[in-house]
Amino acid sequence: MMNVEDRFLKYVKFDTKSDPNNENCPSSDKQFVLANYIKEELLSIGLNDVTLDENCYVMATLPTNIKDKKVKTIGFISHMDTSPALSGENVNPQIVKNYDGKDIRLNDEFSIKVEDFPEIRNYIGQDIITTDGNTLLGADDKAGIAEIITAIEYLKNNDEIKRPNIRIGFTPDEEIGRGADKFDVKKFGADFAYTIDGGYIGELQYENFNAAYAKITVQGRNVHPGSAKDKMINAILLAIRLNDMLPKDEIPAKSEKYQGFYHICDFNGNEEKCEMYYIIRNFDRAEFESKKQYLLDCIKKLNDEFGEDRIKIQMKDQYYNMKEKIEPVMYIIDKAKTAMEKAGVKPLIIPIRGGTDGSKLSFEGLPCPNIFTGGHNFHGRYEYIPINSMRKAVDVIINIVKEFSEDE
Burial class (CB in 10 A: 0-12, 13-18, 19+), 307: exposed
Distance (Å, rounded) from C-alpha 359 to C-alpha 371? 13
Report which secondary-structure segment, H or E, holds 59. Answer: strand 58-62
CB count within 10 Å of CB 115 equals: 6
Q: What is the DSSP string of 80-108?
A: --B-TTS--TT---EEE-S--SS-EE-SS
What is the Cα gyration radius of the chain? 24
Dihedral sign from CA coordinates of 304, 307, 308, 314: negative
Distance (Å, rounded) from C-alpha 254 to C-alpha 248? 9
The span from the first CA to the last CA of the chain, in angstroms, equals: 28
What value does the mean pLDDT take over residues 332-352? Answer: 97
Catalytic residue among 15, 19, 81, 203: 81
Residues 6+ apart with CB under 8 A from 122: none
- The residues with which 216 forms a beta bridge, in sequence order, are 276, 313
**What does each C-alpha distance from 12 to 3, 7, 17, 257 come to in angstroms?**
15, 9, 11, 31
Of 75-79, 104-108, 129-133, 353-357, minimum mean pLDDT range:
353-357
Q: What is the DSSP string of 281-314?
A: EESSHHHHHHHHHHHHHHHHHHHHHH-TT-EEEE
What value does the mean pLDDT take over residues 89-107? Answer: 97
The 10s digit of each residue's pLDDT in 291-333 is 999 999 999 999 999 987 899 999 999 889 999 999 999 999 9
Query: Looking at the predicted structure, is the pLDDT value of residue 68 above 90?
Result: no
The 10s digit of each residue's pLDDT in 267-286 is 999 999 999 999 999 999 99
User: What's the length of the chain?
Assistant: 408
Residue ranges per domain, the chain? 4-207+321-407, 210-319
Query: Looking at the predicted structure, is the pLDDT value of residue 408 above 60?
Result: no
pLDDT at 99: 98
The answer to whether the beta carbons of residues 142 and 11 sit under 8 Å apart is yes
Query: Looking at the predicted structure, is the pLDDT value of residue 165 above 60?
Result: yes
The three-state secondary structure class of 354 is coil
Quick check: is 174 catalytic? Answer: yes
Distance (Å, rounded) from C-alpha 310 to C-alpha 222? 13
Q: What is the DSSP string of 177-197?
A: T-TTTT--HHHH--SEEEEEE
Query: Looking at the predicted structure, is the pLDDT value of residue 231 above 90?
Result: yes
The answer to whether the beta carbons of residues 199 and 271 sit under 8 Å apart is no
Angle at alpha carbon of residue 265, lines to 134 and 278, rounded to 5°: 150
Could you give the dihedral angle defined by the CA atoms of residues 68, 74, 80 and 81, in that order, rounded to the nearest 10 degrees?
170
pLDDT at 351: 93
Amino acid, single-letter form, for residue 275: E
Residues 6+ apart with CB under 8 A from 297: none
- pTM, whole model, 2 decimals? 0.88
Instruction: Check residue 352 and report its DSSP letter.
Output: B
**Quick one: which of 134, 199, 209 has its CA closest to 377?**
199
The answer to whether the beta carbons of residues 352 and 174 sit under 8 Å apart is no
What value does the mean pLDDT take over residues 381-404? Answer: 98
Topology of domain 210-319 in CATH is Alpha-Beta Plaits (3.30.70)
The 10s digit of each residue's pLDDT in 4-51 is 999 999 999 999 999 988 999 999 999 999 999 999 999 999 999 999
pLDDT at 407: 61
The 10s digit of each residue's pLDDT in 138-160 is 999 999 999 999 999 999 999 99
pLDDT at 149: 99
Catalytic residue among 174, 203, 383, 403: 174
Query: Looking at the predicted structure, is the pLDDT value of residue 356 above 90?
Result: no
Query: Looking at the predicted structure, is the pLDDT value of residue 168 above 70?
Result: yes
4-207+321-407 is classed in which CATH architecture? 3-Layer(aba) Sandwich (3.40)
